[in-house]
Structure 1
């Protein structure tokens, strides 16, 4: 199974793991770019379509929510009905929606198409994890997850540059439209490559397909209710959070009873009883609660507090992204044997560096330190984040049966996205609360420092859970 080529039951074809991984990761990058590149396009979209503040917010939120509600159901459907088929279906929806976004005549149509873009990405993204779990084992699997981490890092770095280049080359309008049109040929090529190179197998016959529709509906509504309050300003939004918590509890009870009745639940609760998956899901959730918001508040502090240009703000994070990509590949080589210790030291590095960044920001404000010092200070964050990606993914999937790989990958990604939504609301809230007395450089620094302390606390909590996981595993 560790060799490059393999066959599957019922087929006389030979499949190439390297080509499969390339198809999966290129497609995954395409969906990730929709998050990192769109921020740069918002001014151009606003100018072209005269979007309101609410409509502009939903350009980002609609996509994120749509992915969040689709990940687990689509992952489980892939486990049951065939991952390659779901992968191609998701790519098709994503391509058509990207075309619709590019052709959007008004904000309403654009946001509807952005939601369908999210649905498409949410359908095919969990199949990536599922197929890596299905077709790769041992060190080959860890290496694949390392390359997956590299793709995530590259997407963060490339997205703003790519979208900015389209606007610079074609002008604000149609430059922003071209950025979305680019998805269409890439998705079409990925679909053709999928038909040619991916194994189209399924786990069960249609006669025995058990998709747990009520469980799916409950989880979709729960995730929607939990994420929406942190991405909206409506006065009634917190009632949704209460409803989401209730739905989540009833979903867990339903899944337990569904499994006890001899049926196949959407997500087996036994996954969370598995030490590796349970710990790594908790670690990932806590990490994303804090770390995903660091660059949001950094950009606001540099631009609004110190008057740094948007171009320089983008360039500041480039060494961080490169370091993250390098360490993702390195971690992939070592995650199987040393993943638990990598998790602990990576998170500890991120905590220490987060506190160091506060000192650097103080020096930039009071002693005119050059911006490149901040760029250097961010490199250890990239080293830690890149190491964590491959290590946590590999460790979390160690004991997950391949038959549940898509659902497990969907759960892990959903936890990350929910944590990101909550963290963004919480940490930016701290940033603005500490800065509410005025808009001087000192006030911007107070907001930035306060928010980074919260980031450090969240990542520190993840480090403590990782340390506990390491110790429990060593004592077994």
Structure 2
């Protein structure tokens, strides 16, 4: 029985699962020799992953500083935030394929250099257009880096160690997103409102340079080799169809507040059509005996399909929290960037505390652990909703600490265990592509969540000028996404038990 059926990756694989070398199930087999530097290599990968994902959220609190320093328009500010997420999501799957085909170490190093140079260009920007272009480039580099990290975890670890490694990766994802506002606030506080935003990007330079040297030394040469033979075609038609489809779906979502009218959603519908055409093309390409961009048989594994859907729904509710809380605290309550960041810090602390634990026990508990985490997130957000509703505005920032801590603990039990369960049965040769698809779902979920939750938030503010009421309405929308993810997790647990019985 596979992990998707049982919810536990330590049980027997389903009929038809690939178990020839233990790659599909992540088990320790006789031909597996753990590399002595695997944990040191992981620490370098996680440092780089933290840096790339931090830039998703750290810029939010720097927007007033950027507006003041560069005279950026509202449209430019939107592209500085959303453009990064857009290009990040666009290149994830092709980047995973590049790593699978030509070596993840090489793709990782190229992406790291690209990201560091783009960060320098952001910090040196002399105008809004310059900064937007640099951010688009930085997002592409981040999208190139991240699939290599999950792919190298697949390649370097087996068994319970893989769960621990993915637990650390999940902790990195959760903490980097949550700590971004605090890090941005500290930098702006230290370097001033006029030029402090530049150090939001310059801080990446010493990290990137140091990580590059450490990666040359610590990442094993085996990660520089392609992970399967005969993969000579990059499926350019598949890349074009997937890229155009994801772009058409994401663009109206990330520009939902700037593009007025309903016509923009026709572009999203066209993107869905392109993605359907992409699936037909991939099947056709496979029947011709070629290596497709995405092995659609991955979605025959229930663990992978349900995990990807769950991640999409959860990130739609999870990522948007920092967006709406930052707006509420800074624009509604008049907090400075540092105060807003400190208010959100308990979520980051809770996530850090629980993610490592989740990675260690997920192989024993399985999908029920994810469901438990989603319940905690739901309860924590309900507590935040009641706090904003009933606590006087002068004390909201302090009282929010408790419910955000609970939600953070729950988030740590969702992200890393779900990543472990989702990629558990994926063969090593498909690790980069599968990780890229999973993260593409997360980016689409994030964009959809920010678009829908943000639309509710801004509509309420425009109509009533009540920031507290706007946050409450937005939190209810975010709770709906979290509840959807919980339904997926509970349905998986329930179905698994029926199958076992």
Whether TM exceeds 0.5 here: the answer is yes
What is the Cα deviation at residue 219 of structure 1?
0.6
* Paired residues of 1:81 and 1:209 also in contact (CA < 8 A): no
What root-mean-square deviation, in Å, do the aligned CA atoms of Structure 1 and Structure 2 show? Answer: 2.2
Question: What residue in structure 2 maps to residue 471 of structure 1?
Answer: 494
**Are residues 279 and 62 of structure 1, via their aligned partners in 2, closer, same or farther at CA, if it must alter by over 3 Å?**
same
What is the Cα deviation at residue 28 of structure 1?
0.5
- State which of 443, 449, 463 in structure 2 corresponds to 1:417: 443
What is the Cα deviation at residue 471 of structure 1?
2.2
Question: What residue in structure 2 maps to residue 11 of structure 1?
Answer: none
Residues of 1 paired with 2:356 and 2:372: CA distance?
A: 17
Q: Number of matched residues? A: 464
Q: After superposition, give the CA deviation of every residue in 1:227-254 in whole Å (9 maximum; x if it has no partner).
A: 1101222355323212211111100111
* Paired residues of 2:174 and 2:411 also in contact (CA < 8 A): no
- State which of 373, 384, 404 in structure 1 corresponds to 2:410: 384
**Are residues 308 and 102 of structure 1, via their aligned partners in 2, closer, same or farther at CA, if it must alter by over 3 Å?**
closer
Q: In the alignment, is residue 201 of structure 1 matched against residue 225 of structure 2? A: yes
Residues of 1 paired with 2:455 and 2:39: CA distance?
A: 44
* Paired residues of 1:288 and 1:420 also in contact (CA < 8 A): yes
Question: What residue in structure 2 maps to residue 146 of structure 1?
Answer: 167
- State which of 438, 441, 460 in structure 2 corresponds to 1:434: 460
What is the Cα deviation at residue 446 of structure 1?
2.9
What is the Cα deviation at residue 329 of structure 1?
0.5
Residues of 2 paired with 1:357 and 1:370: CA distance?
A: 9
Question: What residue in structure 2 maps to residue 350 of structure 1?
Answer: 377
What is the Cα deviation at residue 149 of structure 1?
2.2
Matches within 5 A, 1:51-130: 51-130=72-151
Q: After superposition, give the CA deviation of every residue in 1:435-454 in whole Å (9 maximum; x if it has no partner).
A: 44321xxx333322222222
**Higher-RCO chain (CA-CA 8 Å, sequence separation at least 6):** 2
- State which of 413, 424, 427 in structure 2 corresponds to 1:401: 427
Q: Secondary structure of 1:317's partner?
A: helix
Residues of 1 paired with 2:463 and 2:131: CA distance?
A: 37
* Paired residues of 1:153 and 1:322 also in contact (CA < 8 A): no
Q: In the alignment, is residue 284 of structure 1 matched against residue 314 of structure 2? A: no
Q: After superposition, give the CA deviation of every residue in 1:185-206 in whole Å (9 maximum; x if it has no partner).
A: 321222222222222221256x
For structure 1, list consecutive stretches of 5 or more residues without a partner in the other structure.
9-13
**Are residues 44 and 451 of structure 1, via their aligned partners in 2, closer, same or farther at CA, if it must alter by over 3 Å?**
closer
For structure 2, list consecutive stretches of 5 or more residues without a partner in the other structure.
1-26
Residues of 1 paired with 2:227 and 2:386: CA distance?
A: 54
What stretches of structure 1 move > 6 A for 4+ residues in a row? none
Q: In the alignment, is residue 230 of structure 1 matched against residue 253 of structure 2? A: yes
Matches within 5 A, 1:251-266: 251-266=278-293
What is the Cα deviation at residue 257 of structure 1?
1.4
Q: Secondary structure of 1:202's partner?
A: coil
What is the Cα deviation at residue 48 of structure 1?
2.1
* Deviation larger for 254-263 or 149-158: 149-158
* Paired residues of 2:367 and 2:421 also in contact (CA < 8 A): yes
Q: After superposition, give the CA deviation of every residue in 1:333-387 in whole Å (9 maximum; x if it has no partner).
A: 1111212111111112222332222211121148x75532211111111011111
Q: In the alignment, is residue 241 of structure 1 matched against residue 268 of structure 2? A: yes
* Deviation larger for 407-416 or 41-50: 41-50
**Are residues 26 and 215 of structure 1, via their aligned partners in 2, closer, same or farther at CA, if it must alter by over 3 Å?**
same
Residues of 1 paired with 2:332 and 2:212: CA distance?
A: 46
Q: Secondary structure of 2:391's partner?
A: helix
* Paired residues of 2:426 and 2:434 also in contact (CA < 8 A): yes
TM-score (norm 1): 0.92
**Are residues 158 and 347 of structure 1, via their aligned partners in 2, closer, same or farther at CA, if it must alter by over 3 Å?**
closer
- State which of 294, 302, 307 in structure 1 corresponds to 2:321: 294
Residues of 2 paired with 1:437 and 1:56: CA distance?
A: 23
What is the Cα deviation at residue 473 of structure 1?
2.5
- State which of 203, 212, 217 in structure 1 corresponds to 2:240: 217
Residues of 2 paired with 1:173 and 1:438: CA distance?
A: 32
What is the Cα deviation at residue 151 of structure 1?
1.8
* Deviation larger for 346-355 or 163-172: 163-172
Residues of 1 paired with 2:196 and 2:458: CA distance?
A: 32
Question: What residue in structure 2 maps to residue 274 of structure 1?
Answer: 301
* Paired residues of 2:60 and 2:323 also in contact (CA < 8 A): no
Question: What residue in structure 2 maps to residue 462 of structure 1?
Answer: 485
